[in-house]
Amino acid sequence: MSGSEQLGHGSGGTGAEPGDGNMVRRSRGGDARARLALALDFDDSVEAMRWALRLKGYFGVAKVGLELFSAAGPPVVTELVEAGFKVFVDLKLADIPTTTRKAARVLGAIGASYLTVHTCTGPATLAAGVEGLLQGAARAGLPAPVPLGVTVLTSEADAPADVLAARVALARDAGCRGIVCAAPDLPLARGVAPELLTVVPGIRRAGAGRHDQARASTPAEALARGADLLVVGRTVTEAADPETAAAEVLEEVAAATEGPGR
Ligand code: C5P
**Cβ–Cβ < 8 Å for 52, 42:** no
Q: Which residue from 36, 55, 70, 231 has its CB within 8 A of the most atoms of ligand 1, so it is best to mutate?
A: 231
Q: Where are the beta strands (DSSP E) in 95-218?
A: 112-118, 146-150, 178-180, 197-200
Lowest mean pLDDT, pick from 71-75, 146-150, 254-258: 254-258
Q: Return the higher-pLDDT residue of 194 and 26.
A: 194
Note the pLDDT tens digit of each residue in 177-192.
999 999 999 999 999 9
Distance from residue 85's CA to the centre of ligand 1 (Å): 19
Gap between the Cα atoms of 66 and 42, Å rounded: 10
Q: Return the higher-pLDDT residue of 154 and 252.
A: 252
- 22 band by pLDDT with thresholds 50, 70 and 90: very low
- Residue 156 is given by DSSP the state G
Residues forming the active site: 92
- pTM, whole model, 2 decimals? 0.89
Gap between the Cα atoms of 93 and 115, Å rounded: 9
Question: What pLDDT does 209 receive?
Answer: 78
Beta bridge partners of 230: 36, 200
Note the pLDDT tens digit of each residue in 78-99.
999 999 999 999 999 999 999 9
Question: What pLDDT does 16 receive?
Answer: 33
Distance from residue 75's CA to the centre of ligand 1 (Å): 22
Give residue limits of the domains in the chain: 3-258
CATH of domain 3-258: 3.20.20.70
Question: What pLDDT does 4 receive?
Answer: 47
Question: What pLDDT does 259 receive?
Answer: 62
